Amino acid sequence: MPEKTLQLRALRTIQKRDTEVFAFFIPGELITSIADISRIHRDDNDTLEGFQRKAIKQHVRNIVEYLNQGDVLFPNSITFALSPEVEFKQSRGREPKGSVKAGQIGTLSIPIREEGQRVAWIVDGQQRSLALAQTKNGRLQVPVVAFVAPSLDTQREQFILVNKAKPLPARLINELLPAVDTHLPRDLSIRKLPSELCDLLNRDPKSPFYKMIKRVSQDKANTAVITDSAVIDMIRNSIRNPLGVLAQYKSLGSESSDTEAMYDTLLTYWSAVKETFPEAWGKPPTKSRLMHSAGIHAMGVLMDKIMNRATSQRNSQKHVKDSLKRIAPHCHWTSGTWEHLGLRWDEIQKVAKHLRLLSDLLAHLDYETAQ
In terms of domains, do 271 and 340 share one?
A: yes
Domain end, chosen from 167, 202, 225, is at 167
In terms of domains, do 148 and 21 share one?
A: yes
Cβ 112 vs Cβ 11: under 8 Å: no
% of residues, the chain, pLDDT over 70: 79
Lowest average pLDDT, out of 6-20, 150-164, 329-343, goes to 150-164
Determine the pLDDT at residue 161: 55
In terms of domains, do 9 and 115 share one?
A: yes
Q: Which residues of 212-227 are buried (b: 16+ CB within 10 A; e: fewer)?
A: bbbbbbbeeeeebbbb
Determine the pLDDT at residue 154: 59
Query: Checking phi first, is residue 157 left (phi over 0); if not, alpha (psi -120 to 50) or beta?
Result: alpha
In terms of domains, do 337 and 197 share one?
A: yes
How far apart are the C-alpha atoms of 115 and 108, rounded to whole Å? 20
pLDDT at 322 over 70: yes
Taking residues 40-45, report their average pLDDT.
Answer: 54
For the stretch 51-107, pLDDT in tens is: 444 555 676 787 888 888 888 888 888 888 888 889 999 988 777 676 667 788 999
Domain end, chosen from 101, 135, 167, is at 167
The closest alpha carbon to 13, from 24, 25, 23, 4, belongs to 23
Determine the pLDDT at residue 257: 79
Determine the pLDDT at residue 41: 46
Determine the pLDDT at residue 159: 54
In terms of domains, do 160 and 175 share one?
A: no
- What does 158-192 look like in DSSP terms, one character per residue? HHHHHHTTTT--HHHHHHHGGG--S---HHHHHHH
pLDDT at 288 over 90: yes
More confident residue, 291 or 49: 291
- What does 208-242 look like in DSSP terms, one character per residue? TTTTTEE-TTS-TT----EEHHHHHHHHHHHHHST
In terms of domains, do 311 and 203 share one?
A: yes
In terms of domains, do 218 and 276 share one?
A: yes
More confident residue, 371 or 106: 106
In terms of domains, do 120 and 228 share one?
A: no
More confident residue, 247 or 216: 247
In terms of domains, do 239 and 135 share one?
A: no
Cβ 39 vs Cβ 52: under 8 Å: yes
Spatial CB neighbours of 144, under 8 Å, sequence gap ≥ 6: 22, 23, 24, 25, 26, 31, 77, 78, 79, 80
pLDDT at 180 over 60: no
Determine the pLDDT at residue 93: 73
Lowest average pLDDT, out of 82-91, 180-189, 258-267, 350-359, goes to 180-189
Cβ 261 vs Cβ 198: under 8 Å: no
In terms of domains, do 27 and 126 share one?
A: yes
For the stretch 258-274, pLDDT in tens is: 888 999 999 999 999 99
Q: Which residues of 6-30 are buried (b: 16+ CB within 10 A; e: fewer)?
A: eebebebeeeeeeebbbebebebbb
In terms of domains, do 134 and 241 share one?
A: no
Determine the pLDDT at residue 58: 72
Domain end, chosen from 167, 182, 213, is at 167
Determine the pLDDT at residue 324: 97
Domains held by the chain: number = 2
Determine the pLDDT at residue 342: 92
Taking residues 13-29, report their average pLDDT.
Answer: 88
How far apart are the C-alpha atoms of 279 and 284, rounded to whole Å? 12
Long-range contacts of 38-43 (CB under 8 A, 24+ apart): 38/121, 38/122, 38/152, 38/155, 40/172, 40/175, 40/176, 40/216, 40/217, 41/217, 41/219, 42/215, 42/217, 42/218
| H-helix or E-strand spanning residue 344 | strand 343-344
- What does 296-342 look like in DSSP terms, one character per residue? HHHHHHHHHHHHHHHTTSSSHHHHHHHHHHHHGGG--SSSSEETTTT
In terms of domains, do 19 and 151 share one?
A: yes
Determine the pLDDT at residue 50: 45
Determine the pLDDT at residue 83: 86
For the stretch 139-168, pLDDT in tens is: 999 999 988 887 656 555 655 555 554 555
Which structural domain, as residue segments, surrounds residue 109?
A: 5-167
